Amino acid sequence: MRALTWHGKRDVRIDTVPDPKIIEPTDVLVKITSTGICGSDLHLYEVLGPYLEPGDILGHEPMGLVEEVGPEVTALAPGDRVVVPFNVSCGSCWMCDRGLHSQCETTQVREHGMGASLFGYTKLYGQVPGGQAEFLRVPFGNTLPVKVPHGPPDERFVYLSDVLPTAWQAVAYADPPPDAHVVVLGLGPIGDMAARIALHRGARQVIGVDLVPERLARARERGVHTLNVDELGADLGDEVRRLTDGRGADAVIEAVGMEAHGAPVAKAAQQMVGLLPDRLAEKLMSRAGVDRMAAFHAAVDVVRRGGTISVVGVYGGAMDPLPLLTMFDKQVQLRMGQANVRRWVDDILPLLDDEDRLGVEGFATHKLPLEDGPQAYKTFQAKEDGMIKTLLQP
Ligand SMILES: NC(=O)c1ccc[n+]([C@@H]2O[C@H](COP(=O)([O-])OP(=O)(O)OC[C@H]3O[C@@H](n4cnc5c(N)ncnc54)[C@H](O)[C@@H]3O)[C@@H](O)[C@H]2O)c1
Ligand SMILES: [Zn+2]
Ligand SMILES: [Zn+2]
């Protein structure tokens, strides 16, 4: 089959690779019809290279049609339409029973002390072949894939794989009180959708922060008060306080992560790590704390005293310097983590009807054939061509 594979920093290709096969009796094989490119994939493209191997198949936002089922699969049959959550979670262990699918004890990567395996990610997350491909092997066929009806276009459902549950969890963890001022840092797909969900759930005001004009404009069109961090610089906190009765935001969602714009020193350090031999680089990335923390620092600045920060952006280093004095003094409540995708699906599904209250059907800015994947990564990273969300269609 054809698949998008990683080969090195800023080097992904479409290769012909062996077709996946049913291995466990509860596996299903899915023929992919749409598969998103995520901001998390950009971390693989740029800074997380030490944790990948050439030929790894990327992608963790797929949907498609069941092609084949293992002998113990009773919940699905060939021809069924499914969305595949990005966590590889069993659905029946202690963690899954508590809605913590990103910590699934059946697929935890204990060798590296990490949580549940993920499709199409790094060695730290199990190096499971991903879904930017023609076919995907999906374990736990009776519990993991989300069965959706035939009929509506893929865009109606495909974001159940990641964007919707991740944004939903970001808002749930931010836990805005009724009538809250909510700040969303980063208006990529995750921040944009989190802003929509916060408004849908009754926030008084959502303030969205980014620096890319079309991302700001798109959020503004849906009722978000937008701020350009490039123009405001260090005045961002004062501007947010001005808009929130002088106190700051009740709840802040940090949807940027470790490649935040605005910390050039750390960027140089990350790039240096990128040039080291892999074994050394791997150590440095996980031990030396070279992450770019600009967005996290902004979150601590704009949150009100006693407010909540929900970190949904991905961080990768183990020793990032945190502003602990300020966090403690402001009595910040901090929640974070990989989304527990399966947990939120039943809450979200009713919103994916003809009314389309979250605007999922116009959400993708680009729909491209799988073969255009490498160019799409390039364009997405450079934030060119108005690209915000891309669906590849194998
Ligand atoms: N926790 C999870 O389960 C989960 C799931 C999916 C994605 N993510 C992470 O969420 C983050 C966002 O994902 P995405 O797909 O929206 O990616 P994205 O790269 O499209 O979005 C990031 C946005 O942040 C903006 N930005 C950069 N620096 C900024 C700054 N200093 N202040 C404000 N905005 C800034 C960028 O312009 C961009 O629009 C990524 O870190 C991704 O890895 C986490
Ligand atoms: Zn994703
Ligand atoms: Zn589990």
Q: How far is the CA of 293 from the centre of ligand 3 (A)?
A: 32
Enclosing domain of residue 217: 164-336
Low-confidence winner among 19-28, 41-50, 130-139, 140-149 (lowest mean pLDDT)? 41-50
Which atom of ligand 1 is found nearest the CA of 341?
3
| Higher pLDDT, residue 367 or 327 | 367
> Are 370 and 253 in a shared domain?
no
Residue of minimum CA distance from atom 21 in ligand 1 = 188
Res 222: pLDDT: 97
> Are 266 and 373 in a shared domain?
no
Structurally, how many domains does the chain consist of? 2
> Are 181 and 73 in a shared domain?
no
Is 43 a residue whose pLDDT tops 80?
yes
Which atom of ligand 1 is found nearest the CA of 210?
34
Is 209 a residue whose pLDDT tops 70?
yes
> Are 330 and 349 in a shared domain?
no
What integer is the mean pLDDT of 18-32? 98
Q: How far is the CA of 293 from the centre of ligand 1 (A)?
A: 12
Which atom of ligand 1 is found nearest the CA of 257?
41
* d(C-alpha 307, C-alpha 268), whole Å: 33
Judged by phi (left if over 0) then psi (alpha if -120 to 50, else beta), residue 382 lies in alpha
The pairing of strands 28-37 and 390-393 is: antiparallel
Which atom of ligand 1 is found nearest the CA of 187?
39
DSSP assignment of 120-146 equals: T--GGGT-B--SSBSEEEES-TTTSSE
Q: How far is the CA of 326 from the centre of ligand 2 (A)?
A: 31
CATH number at residue 371: 3.90.180.10
> Are 17 and 151 in a shared domain?
yes
User: Is the full-model pTM beyond 0.85?
Assistant: yes
Is 364 a residue whose pLDDT tops 50?
yes
Phi, psi of 63 (to 5 degrees): -145, 165
Which tokens in the block code for residue 350? 């009713």
CATH number at residue 260: 3.40.50.720
What integer is the mean pLDDT of 10-30? 98
> Are 194 and 264 in a shared domain?
yes
Domain boundary pick from 292, 320, 336: 336
Res 78: pLDDT: 98
Ligand 1 pocket, Cβ-based, cut-off 6 angstroms: 38-40, 42-43, 162, 166, 185-191, 209-212, 215, 229, 255-257, 260-262, 294-295, 298, 312-314, 338-339
Is 382 a residue whose pLDDT tops 50?
yes
pLDDT tens digits for range 295-342: 998 999 999 999 999 999 987 765 567 887 888 888 889 998 899 999
Q: How far is the CA of 265 from the centre of ligand 3 (A)?
A: 40
Cα–Cα–Cα angle for 10, 15, 17, rounded to 5 degrees: 130
| Higher pLDDT, residue 46 or 214 | 214
Q: Which of 29, 117, 113 is nearest to 70 (CA)?
A: 29
To test ligand 1's pocket by mutation, which of 114, 118, 314 has the most ligand atoms within 8 angstroms of CB? 314
What integer is the mean pLDDT of 174-179? 94
Q: What share of the chain is helix, strand, coil (3-state, %, to 5)?
A: 35, 25, 40
Q: How far is the CA of 248 from the centre of ligand 2 (A)?
A: 29
Which atom of ligand 1 is found nearest the CA of 388?
20
> Are 332 and 200 in a shared domain?
yes
Q: How far is the CA of 348 from the centre of ligand 3 (A)?
A: 21
Residue of minimum CA distance from atom 9 in ligand 1 = 313
> Are 136 and 199 in a shared domain?
no
Q: How far is the CA of 370 from the centre of ligand 1 (A)?
A: 23
> Are 145 and 247 in a shared domain?
no
Query: Which ligand is nearest the CA of 219, by number?
Result: 1
Is 274 a residue whose pLDDT tops 90?
no
HSE (side-chain half, CA atoms, 13 Å) at 106: 15
What letter does residue 261 receive in the DSSP assignment? T
Question: What residues form DSSP beta bridges with 64?
Answer: 32, 82
> Are 12 and 146 in a shared domain?
yes
> Are 317 and 180 in a shared domain?
yes
At how many degrees (to 10) do helices 163-174 and 341-348 cross?
Answer: 90
What integer is the mean pLDDT of 144-155? 98
Is 385 a residue whose pLDDT tops 60?
yes
Assign 266 a pLDDT band (cuts: 50, 70, 90).
very low
Residue 11 parent element (H or E): strand 11-16
What letter does residue 116 receive in the DSSP assignment? S
Distances (CA, A) of 257 to 159, 191, 289, 291: 20, 11, 14, 9
Assign 206 a pLDDT band (cuts: 50, 70, 90).
very high
Q: How far is the CA of 192 from the centre of ligand 2 (A)?
A: 14
Is 20 a residue whose pLDDT tops 70?
yes
Query: Which ligand is nearest the CA of 46, by number?
Result: 1
> Are 199 and 111 in a shared domain?
no
